[in-house]
Amino acid sequence: MPDFARRSLLALPLVAPLFAPGGTPFAAGLAAMPIRSEQEPTLSDDLSHYVDLGVHRAGTTGERKTAVWLNARLQKLGYTSQIDRFPISTIIDPSGRLQFAGQDISVFPQWTPPANAFGKISAPLRALSDDPGPATIRFVASPVSFTASWNRALDQLAIEAKAKGALALIVAIDIPSGELFVSNQHSSALLPLPVALVAKRDLPRLQSASGVQANLRLKGKPAKTHSLNVIGEKQVQSQGQSQGGSQGKRIVISTPLTGWFACGAERGPGIALWLRLARYLATQNVPVTMLGTGSHEIGYLGIDHALTNYGPKPDDVALWLHLGASLGATRLDREFAFTSPQYLVGLPGSAQAAKQAFAEHLPIYVSGDAKTQGEAGPIIAAGHRNFIGMSGMFPTFHTPVDLGQAVDFAKLEQIAQAAEGLVQQVVGAG
């Protein structure tokens, strides 16, 4: 357990709270931004480096390289930073192929597969809607589209396939790009049969081959390994020195670090903005926690681990700003005739400040609660009232082809400036 877990955060010197009693913003308006050095990495630089580190699933080399990189960046900025390992159960090197009638289609296992999922399954293809029959590979178009997490409706498909005697189920989830889309794991419970995900554009090939013998081969190694959180902290230099003009509380900036594939436009913008805010806050005499969490895609395990073991107490936090998925990822909208949603998440006490800072750039406001998707739900459930989060989706979200092409860097820069303005407002500078 990190050293941070063994000391009381209640004893830390405190920065101006974001919200006065009644939820009024601490200061009206946004202060001017600090001037940045031309030598500092840009948002694009950091996003590109993240993509270059490879696949970012929990337990992979890409996750490890990312944690080492971010930990080093925080230490260089003067944070007390370290990497925290926590145990996970996952699948190493997952992949799959479906072959039939001379065709060869890429598939991907949905988490969490049963023990018998890996290997070769040979059986005729049948639509899930067909009558029951033994020893088949069933296929179906998902009744829900573009869902970030596997849910009860998708669970029901697997249950139905098992009841009809299927050996495996192939599911096509509809997204604007038609690419193979993988949903996040929502439960540690095993699926009742092997489930393979296929690109929606490949589904007509299966439909035209109903009754044809097929070979489904899912690959991967079930393993108990570790995922990684990165935790950087900075305290005020001295009780007697200025703390941005006023006494106050801790600022927490968090972002997930992992996902199914390279996650260029999914995770990259949040990480790039996280590093930019870390640079600014390193120059301010305020207490700060920078938190990067692992295992986002397999049940948000990293944020749960952090909240349990070293997360600051709600009463000690002036602002928890969570940088979620797909910030500024709207560049592919015209190509796919789709409006990528950009969400802003707030609570009753933080709504006014959230909208003041971000409404122009994150137009869909969500009133958060403990059931809010992603890391926002657990953070809110832990009692954090001064919480603001942001997230989004885009046409190649959760797909193998997301290498960052979806990011509109002009829009991301606008979000970054709004975030810096909000943080500077909390610090009380200017």
Give residue-wise pLDDT tens across range 126-148. Answer: 999 999 999 999 999 999 888 89
pLDDT for residue 340: 97
Q: What is the pTM of this model?
A: 0.90
Distance CA 369, CA 337 (A): 31
Mind listing the domains of the chain with CATH numbers? 8-88+226-427 (3.40.630.10), 90-223 (3.50.30.30)
Under 8 Å between Cβ of 100 and 125: yes
Query: Strand locations in 203-310, DSSP E?
Result: 213-234, 250-256, 288-293
User: How many other CB atoms sit within 10 Å of the CB of residue 115?
Assistant: 8
Under 8 Å between Cβ of 51 and 407: no
β-pairing, 387-392 vs 342-346, is antiparallel
Residue 247 burial by CB count (10 A; 0-12/13-18/19+): exposed, middle or buried?
A: middle
**Residue entry with tokens 């949040």:** 270
pLDDT for residue 186: 80
Q: To the nearest whole number, what is the mean pLDDT of the chain?
A: 89
* Angle at 63 (CA atoms; ends 37, 47), nearest 5 degrees: 30
Q: Mean pLDDT, to the nearest integer, of 372-380?
A: 96
β-pairing, 24-25 vs 136-141, is unpaired
Taken in order 14, 15, 18, 19, the sign of the CA dihedral is: positive
Distance CA 258, CA 65 (A): 11
Our separate counts of H helices and E strands in the chain read: 10, 15
pLDDT digits (tens, 9 = 90+) for 72-111: 999 999 999 999 999 999 999 999 999 999 999 999 999 9
Q: Which of 48, 30, 104, 15 is nearest to 417 (CA)?
A: 30
Indicate the pLDDT class of residue 248, thresholds 50, 70 and 90. Answer: low
Residues in contact with 8: Cβ distance below 8 Å, sequence separation at least 6, in sequence order? none
- How much of the chain, in percent, has pLDDT values that exceed 90? 83
Q: Which of 59, 188, 190 is nearest to 116 (CA)?
A: 190
pLDDT for residue 146: 87
201-207-213-217 Cα dihedral, nearest 10 degrees:
30
Q: How far is CA 73 from the centre of its chain?
A: 20
pLDDT of 245 > 60? The answer is no
> Which tokens hold the place of 306?
């952090």
Q: Which of 396, 140, 122 is nearest to 268 (CA)?
A: 396
Q: Mean pLDDT, to the nearest integer, of 413-421?
A: 97
Q: Mean pLDDT, to the nearest integer, of 407-415?
A: 98
User: How many other CB atoms sit within 10 Å of the CB of residue 230?
Assistant: 27
Q: Mean pLDDT, to the nearest integer, of 313-331?
A: 97
pLDDT for residue 38: 53
Q: Mean pLDDT, to the nearest integer, of 210-237?
A: 95
